[in-house]
């Protein structure tokens, strides 16, 4: 088994189109087992480097329906890995012909706090480019320190992500409160 180097690519505006194309195929395959699909992860954040893997957040009303259609994702080239270390998740990954990861699906049931967390993190970084740049710099440092160690690279981001998650939740809450107040008579 070869160990692949962590490669961060400059933001590619084509990642959005890649998401849209794959999302259409996934939505067709899953049918009514899928409520919605969101583009998340660094490829969804303009201006920052990312491992060129399209991360998707799938929302389903019922894991039983999703699980019953997992074979349809396998037919699209995905590997179904169950929870894969995160309780309450279904994880699917897809590699290209060169065995390099191209897409990941993180599926959660509607109402999971993971959905709001992932979307708030993405939206916070988009709305706060200075924080996105700090995240970008951290990822570059970690890739230089751990060029072949995905686990250490990922763990090195944990504290930053936890801090941004907290800020994003507060920001999302204050944003929702401001919207609610502005709609009052």
Inform me whether the pLDDT recorded for 123 exceeds 50: yes
Inform me whether the pLDDT recorded for 181 exceeds 80: no
Identify the helix (H) or strand (E) that includes residue 56: strand 54-60
**How many beta carbons lie within 10 A of that of residue 126, not counting itself?**
15
Inform me whether the pLDDT recorded for 171 exceeds 50: yes
* Residue 178 banded pLDDT, cuts 50, 70, 90: low
Inform me whether the pLDDT recorded for 185 exceeds 90: no
- Whole-number pLDDT of residue 4: 81
Q: What angle do CA 17, 23, 27 make, to 5 degrees?
A: 155
- pLDDT tens figures, 29-73: 999 999 999 999 999 999 999 999 999 999 999 999 999 999 999
Alpha-carbon distance 14 to 50, whole Å? Answer: 13
Inform me whether the pLDDT recorded for 156 exceeds 60: yes
Domains of the chain: 14-173 (3.30.460.10)
């Amino acid at each position: 088994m070869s160990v692949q180097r962590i490669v961060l690519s400059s933001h590619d505006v084509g990642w959005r189109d890649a998401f849209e194309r794959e999302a259409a195929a996934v939505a067709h395959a899953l049918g009514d087992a899928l409520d919605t699909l969101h583009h998340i992860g660094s490829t969804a954040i303009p201006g920052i480097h990312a491992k060129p893997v399209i991360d998707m957040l799938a929302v389903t009303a019922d894991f039983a329906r999703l699980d019953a259609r997992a074979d349809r994702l396998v037919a699209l080239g995905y590997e179904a890995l169950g929870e894969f270390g995160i309780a309450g998740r279904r994880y699917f990954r897809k590699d290209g012909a060169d065995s390099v990861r191209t897409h990941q699906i993180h599926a959660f049931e509607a109402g999971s706090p993971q959905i709001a967390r992932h979307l708030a993190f993405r939206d916070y970084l988009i709305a706060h480019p200075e924080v996105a740049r700090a995240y970008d710099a951290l990822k570059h440092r970690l890739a230089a320190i751990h060029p072949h160690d995905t686990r250490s690279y990922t763990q090195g981001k944990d504290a930053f992500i936890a801090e941004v998650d907290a800020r994003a939740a507060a920001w999302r809450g204050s944003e929702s409160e401001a919207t609610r107040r502005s709609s009052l008579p």
